[in-house]
A and B are shown apart, each in its own frame.
Chain A
Amino acid sequence: MKNFKLLFTMLCLMLWGTSSAEETTKEVGKRETSIQLSFYKKADQTKTARVKVNAKNDKRKFMPARNAHINIYVINNKTEQLVATELTGIDGKAVVELPKNLPLDADMKFTIIAKIENDPAFEDAQEQGTYKEANLSISINTADTDRLVTVKATELDKDGKEKPIAKATINFYIQRLFGTMPAAEDRTATTDDKGEGTFILPRDIKGDTLGNIIVVAKIEDNDIYGNVDSKVDAKLGIALLVDKNPFPRALWEPRAPAPLVITISVIFSCVWLVYISLFYTIIKISRDKNPPTPTGKPPYELAYEDH
């Protein structure tokens, strides 16, 4: 008994010690926050701002911040104009669609600001990005045996005319069901003075049943243009051959071998027979009000006899 008391006291002390140690590391009030902003212009000309918010946990480690209120502003005539409000998801990310015509400054640039303001759980934070709008056009001459993909990058100058973008790094990908796959190990091209870059498409890319693929060109994480992409369909992939008889001699074949069908049927029948017999016995017992005992007497009489 004495030992038990001692053990109990020690355990209580240990639990108190560990819980109080954890409490001291917890931050009271709002959590320190970091915010990252990226601009995306997709092939269909939609423009989005993608925001990633991280907040420090009780171990002072940045983790994705869920349900942070994000306000997105654009600068219009040197004043901030609110364009959208969004909550971050479980991964700390929020995607906000931007207006098609963003207000431009004298240098044909636009500025986006992502802010966390007066959020009850997170400290105020903001990130600003100034970008120029770029256009990418991608073309493939399918008659060309070299399988050359040409991409042209342009931006608008002050007169509203298209001007080539030189020395831009463009990466090439192939569209797949859940994302994009690098088109080759060395998938990068750099644009020349005309804003043009070329890439030779490998011959071993698998397409659909007709050999169609979608080639995607991307400017990625560029300090001036953000993320821009463009797509083109091409019949330059290897046509996918669908195997019409992938599982020969299988049970689910139209003409499965008879011994297989008989064996499987017998096994399943045995299993089901056991279930049915058990079920039948249980029902029979539940319906019988005076179940037989080994001595032939009802169970309650046997109980009295024991005493």
Chain B
Amino acid sequence: MKSGLLLTICIIVAGLIGMAFQTDQSKPWVVPDKYLKMTNPVKATPASIAAGKSLFVKQCQDCHGKKGLGDGTKVPELKSTPPDMTKAAFQGQTDGAIFYKLSEGRNDMPKAKKDLPDDEDRWNLVNFVRTFKK
């Protein structure tokens, strides 16, 4: 009886320690179908990209870095790891998925639609982050 209780306590403690040492394995970010299939209504013109760049510098660069590598100045303060926007894993997403993620935010990533309520601004951002593709 006593050893059974001890075993249970050990398993609970092991679980707690395991949780404490858990590395940053981000859970998959589920994008609703509506956004996955959404087409970008703003064409990636130089004006749109320039507008997106200006917004990116103000709103995103501190964490995502100048080139979207995830090496911004605020990264050491973050709990999560910003993605590398140059990689296929990021660029392989649809415009709608990127639009949804930056609009809604998650964990350290703030909701862009709070500061940028105009959809067009956020689509401009999508057009700009596409320029990071290598």
Contact = CB atoms under 8 A, between A and B. Distances in A.
B14 A3 contact: no
Given A6-B6, A7-B6, A62-B69, A17 B18 contact: yes
A62 B17 contact: no
Contacts of B71: 34, 36, 54, 62
B70 A3 contact: no
Contacts of B7: 6, 10
Given A3-B2, A22-B21, A63-B75, A10 B14 contact: yes
B59 to A, nearest CB: 15
Contacts of B14: 10, 13-14, 17
Interface string A208-230: 00000000000001000000000
A54 B72 CA distance: 9
Nearest to A54: B71
B13 A14 contact: yes
B81 interface: yes
Is the contact region of chain A dominated by helix, strand, or loop, or is it mixed? helix
Contact of A62 (B6, B23, B70): B70
A61 B10 contact: no
Contacts of A61: 24, 70, 75, 78, 81
A18 interface: yes
Interface string A191-210: 00000000000000000000
A258 interface: no
A11 B65 CA distance: 42
B6 A3 contact: yes
A25 interface: yes
Interface in B37-88: 57, 65-67, 69-71, 75-76, 78, 81
A17 B14 CA distance: 9
B7 to A, nearest CB: 7
Interface in B4-18: 6-7, 10, 13-14, 17-18
Nearest to B20: A18
Nearest to B23: A25
A11 B17 CA distance: 11
Given A18-B21, A54-B71, A62 B3 contact: no
Contacts of A164: none
Given A6-B6, A6-B7, A59 B17 contact: no
